[in-house]
Structure 1
Amino acid sequence: MPYEISYAFTCVFLAAIVRGFSGFGFALLTIISLSFVLPPATIVPAMFVLEVAAGIHLLPSIWKDIHWRLIVVMVGTAVMFTPVGVYFLANVPAGPMKLMLAALIFTTAVVLMAGIRMKRMPTMAETAATGTTAGILNGALGIGGPPIIIFFLGSPLALQAGRASIIAAFLAMDMAGLPALFAFGLFTRDSVRLAIISLPALVAGIYLGSRLAGRMSETVVRKVVLVVLMGMAVATAAQSLFSVSKTG
């Protein structure tokens, strides 16, 4: 329907601005907003493809700033432990897990907003633990990004290096999971159509967001990113409560 196309285009464009600016938030924002007019089975595969496209689009500009040693360990453990998350998905209600995740994200963002950060680089064990948590959450809830975001924002890395590493980690995890979507036949005609229609909005939004990030000081960008993170936590909690009330 025309109104659905216009609404989807607008949602993707606004979420892409956030993605280009902060390096994260696109999938969660689009899935939550588009779920009001489209079924998740159509949204999730389309947004997954757009996430990969967004990462590839940003990769040339961030390549030199990526902390590859941390990324290899983190993504490797995340991929290994995603099946554990799938087990939780099959045996534990998603609602309570989402609420706990939202509370953790919001609390951590407030702590980071107060200026509390690690004074040393994370160890390989801490990096692997973050990847493990991200993999479990990715398998259980489809939301594996928050531990990675918190990890890099709380490290002594410069914001530019942290943002670049977040984007690279998400791209690697998304590309690792892409074959499973094809294997399970989740790419329907509607999801492919949604991805194609949304692609111009994605490119335009990421371009605008990247330009905005490049023109602001690191302090301002960091505060905006943390506000976005807190907003994502609130949105996750609201979505969980809405789902619980709807099923109840």
Structure 2
Amino acid sequence: MGAVDLWTTMVVVLVAAMVQSTTGFGFSLLAVPLISLVLPTESAVVIAATLGTLTSSAQAIGQREHGDRPTILRMLAGAAVGAPFGLILLTVASNRQLKFGLAAVIIAFLVINLRGLTIERGSRGVDVAAGTISGVLNTSLSSNGPPLVMALHARHMSPSAFRATISAVFAGTGVITVGLFLASGRYDSDVRKLLVAAVPAMVMGYAIGARVRPHIDPPRFRQAVMVLLTATAIITLAGALMAS
């Protein structure tokens, strides 16, 4: 690990955290593909998933009284089933295949948002299925938001209940993911050093986002983020095509 790897990771984490703080989404969708420009995709996934667990846990604790507990438990049950399969994918997939997977998730997220695709009716089965897919995506790519967002929107929750519920599911899925990463020896010395450096950058990014959020036009900023995600998907696809 060189200085370029360290500083690139810190800058990417800062920017991704600022975007997440300002818009409510985008941390892993930006962080993983951009960090993977200088690090193996597997390491980028471990770093982003671990940082995401820290932030979602803090949010879940602060909003715990508003969460829909039955929905949370169903989604986490699904995540517990799916997460080991995601770890298998992370283990057996090549760096190139992981990059293609990242690009596919980003493109799916963009299509869902731009076309306004929704699930018309929520159900227990939808909750479990969304949790299972989320578990697979979190341990393999650290990008598990789209299925959870679609499933929770189908339940037509209030904004406070939605935020609290999805934060709790993110946190619980993250704990499962970190546990699997620990058990499988994913935290080598380089990853540990990068995490230590990235945490202050993440905190700074969230603080900057909180400060600038009241002074920006949300629709325009969201559009800018969509453009950034599109560029990220293109860069990731190009990296996958060039990867060995």
Match of 1:49 in 2: 50
Of 187-196 and 224-233, the range deviating more from structure 2: 224-233
User: Deviation at 1:150?
Assistant: 2.9
Task: Read off the aligned partner of 1:110 and give its amino acid letter.
Answer: L
Provide the rounded CA distance (Å) in 2 between the counterparts of 1:171 and 1:181.
15
2:59 matched residue in structure 1: 58
Rounded Cα–Cα distance in structure 2 between residues aligned with 1:39 and 1:88: 15
Match of 1:79 in 2: 80
Q: Structure 2: which 5+ runs fail to align?
A: none
Tell whether the 8 Å contact from 2:119 to 2:151 is kept in structure 1 after alignment.
no
| Distance in 2 of aligned mates of 1:14 and 1:73 | 33
Question: How many angstroms apart in 1 are the aligned matches of 2:3 and 2:99?
Answer: 33
Structure 2 match to 1:10 = 11
Q: Which residue of 2 aligns with 1:123?
A: 123
Q: Is the 8 A contact 1:134 1:147 kept in 2?
A: yes
Contact 2:31 2:48 (C-alpha < 8 Å) held by counterparts: yes
Q: Does the CA-based 8 Å contact 1:50-1:199 persist in structure 2?
A: yes
Alignment RMSD (CA, Å): 3.5
| 1:239 aligned onto 2:241 | no
Judged with a 3 Å threshold, the aligned counterparts in structure 2 of structure 1 residues 91 and 42 are, in CA distance, closer, same or farther, namely closer
Q: Secondary structure, in 3 states, of the residue corresponding to 1:38?
A: coil
1:154-193 matched pairs, under 5 angstroms: 155-193=155-193
* TM-score w.r.t. length of structure 1: 0.76
Residue type of the partner of 1:134?
S
CA distance in 2, matches of 1:173, 1:117: 22
Question: Are the structure 2 counterparts of residues 190 and 140 from structure 1 closer, same or farther at C-alpha, using a change threshold of 3 Å?
Answer: closer
Q: Which runs of 4+ in 1 moved over 6 A?
A: none
Tell me by how many angstroms 1:233 deviates: 6.3
Structure 1 residues 156 and 237, CA, compared in 2 at 3 Å: closer, same or farther? farther
1:96 and 1:6 mapped to 2: Cα distance?
A: 25
- TM-score, with length taken from structure 2: 0.77
Shift of 1:74: 0.9
Superposed displacement of residue 75, structure 1: 1.6
Q: What displacement does 1:27 show?
A: 2.5
Moved more, 79-88 or 187-196: 79-88
Aligned residue for 1:132? 132
Superposed displacement of residue 176, structure 1: 0.9
Of 163-172 and 188-197, deviating more is 163-172
1:26 aligns to what? 27
| Cα deviations by residue, 1:78-133 (Å, 9 ceiling, x for unpaired) | 22133444566658965665565444322221232xxx76676x221221221232
For residues 140 and 204 of structure 1, the distance between their equivalents in structure 2, rounded to whole angstroms, comes to 27
Unaligned runs of 5+ in 1: none
Q: Retained in 2: the 8 A contact 1:117–1:156?
A: no
The one-letter code sitting in structure 2 at the alignment partner of 1:10 is V
SS at 1:187's partner residue? Answer: coil
Task: Provide closer, same or farther for how the CA distance between residues 66 and 238 of structure 1 changes in structure 2, counting only shifts above 3 A.
Answer: farther
Partners of 1:182 and 1:154 in 2: CA distance: 34
Tell me the number of residue pairs that the alignment of Structure 1 and Structure 2 aligns: 240
Which residue is 2:39 aligned to? 38
Partner of 1:106: 110
**Residue identity matched to 1:14:** V
Q: Residue 170 of structure 1: CA displacement?
A: 1.3
Query: Cα distance, 1:14 vs. partner?
Result: 1.1
